[in-house]
Structure 1
Amino acid sequence: MAILVVNQGAGWSQELYQATFDRTIPDRNHPPAGLIAHFGSPGETGGWQVVDVWESEDAFRRFLEEQVKPAAQELGAPPFESKVVEVYNSLIP
């Protein structure tokens, strides 16, 4: 079942997000296995947020552990929180 993931990082900026994105998804034509949709934006209370839809939690966790965390660590990024919920319904026109 598909999942919705909301990642929030208070100490993140647009520049840090973009640098991490560029390292983890260098070719937008070849997204990570299992990624359905990805959105990045400023957080409501500051920092940065990323909202993704993934085919499964396993696909998300694999990408997080193998790609995102190492890239963020190399860039000296602060920690961020991830909330995962199952998708009940979706519409992709």
Structure 2
Amino acid sequence: MPVLAYHHGPDWTQELYQATIDRAMPDPNNLPRGLIAHYAAPLEGGGWQVVDVWESAEDHDRFLRERVIPVAQELGAPAFQSQVTELYNSLVA
């Protein structure tokens, strides 16, 4: 079942996000297994947010556990909040 993953952190910046994604996903032409879409943007009032669509919660959790969290820890990044929910509908132009 596809899932929508929402991650946000008030202490994250564009530069920290970019450093993390560059290391966690170094080749944008070779996306992690199960990733359907990835979006990132600043939060109003400061911070950073990421919205992903994954083929399954397992694919998402594996990528977060094996790639994102270790890289974020190496960079000394602050914690971020995550929410994952089953995707009901998707419309893409």
TM-score (norm 1): 0.96
Q: Percent identity?
A: 60
Structure 1 residue ranges (4+ consecutive) displaced by more than 3 angstroms after TM superposition: none
Opposite residue 10 of structure 2, the aligned amino acid is: A
Q: Give 1:43 shift.
A: 1.1
Q: Does 1:73 align with 2:73?
A: yes
| Alignment map for 1:77-88 (pairs within 5 Å) | 77-88=77-88
Which residue of the partner structure matches residue 57 of structure 1? Answer: 57
TM-score (norm. length: structure 2): 0.96
Name the counterpart of 1:24. 24
Mapped partners of 1:44, 1:83: distance in 2: 18
Q: Which residue of 2 aligns with 1:33?
A: 33
SS in 2 for 1:83: strand
CA distance in 1, matches of 2:8, 2:29: 25
2:86 partner letter: E
Unaligned runs of 5+ in 2: none
What RMSD, in angstroms, separates the aligned Cα atoms of the two structures?
Answer: 0.8
Deviation, 1:44, is 2.5
Length, aligned pairs only: 93
